[in-house]
Structure 1
């Protein structure tokens, strides 16, 4: 076989095949560097906005925690002082009214001193955010009141606070101590609704 036949034979196409494959598998055109920079910039901007939002949330949370710490740091101390105030009130209520009237100047001065001490203590607590809960005559609210017993009383709406056993207090917007109360049971008399029913029947006739 001649050299020309060898060159034009089957082996010739086989020798050209790798070049064809290499041409077909050549990498696509590289991405535009400007597009890459824009994508990177958008990614960095998104990360920055997320970080800024997290920092803002952290700042607000820290401010709220500091505010709460200032407002409620004295809660335990204030609760203990209320116990002292309760004892002063019990001491004053233990003295009958007739004995107060008949007492000599020394005893009267002593009682007045106890009353002034109680008022001064409650006034000081109020300046620090501790306020008394006005419970009597209000509708029973389990968030502010603690029911101790029920009082049969058909003259007031059911679940109305009619007696306060121990005053309750709040500090800021939180309950420092719920008011211990007696709650009305029964509600308005049924007879009160009778005239309206009678009038309705008359109209129906």
Structure 2
């Protein structure tokens, strides 16, 4: 039989059983204990709502609105410049047209003055000179696009004629122009004035 005095030796030589998983071990005196980390405050860890920037969709919408406003302002400025330039060009064209018209009538004025210097001459010659000046003025108006209208025997046209009297005219068709008391100039949209006429009375 083996003596009981040998049991402790065998127990000392046996390997140490590991602690069960999850079991707490007592702290060893020779190891330093680490300082516990203080909990981080939530206010310093997460930014507040004021620190966060606007959403990407809001940024895109704001940028698009600003671009549209800039384009709108530029378009208004371009339109205003175009209006001013058009007004200046129109005024220049009007001045140039007035100058051309006045220059076209200068020879007529010169001939009228020449006729007045010969007023003491033979009456027949003066009449012929005035008639020539009149024809010259009529020709100038025709070149400017306003031909003379003195037709008789044509049907009355309210767009071309202004009735100043209705007369009995047995030889004329009713409703036709009998006499032109004041010539008209131009036609249609380019009419300076209608002709003043008398018209044959209708039966």
> What is the TM-score of this pair, normalised by structure 1?
0.46
- Which structure has more RCO (C-alpha within 8 Å, separation ≥ 6)? 1
TM (norm. structure 2) is 0.47
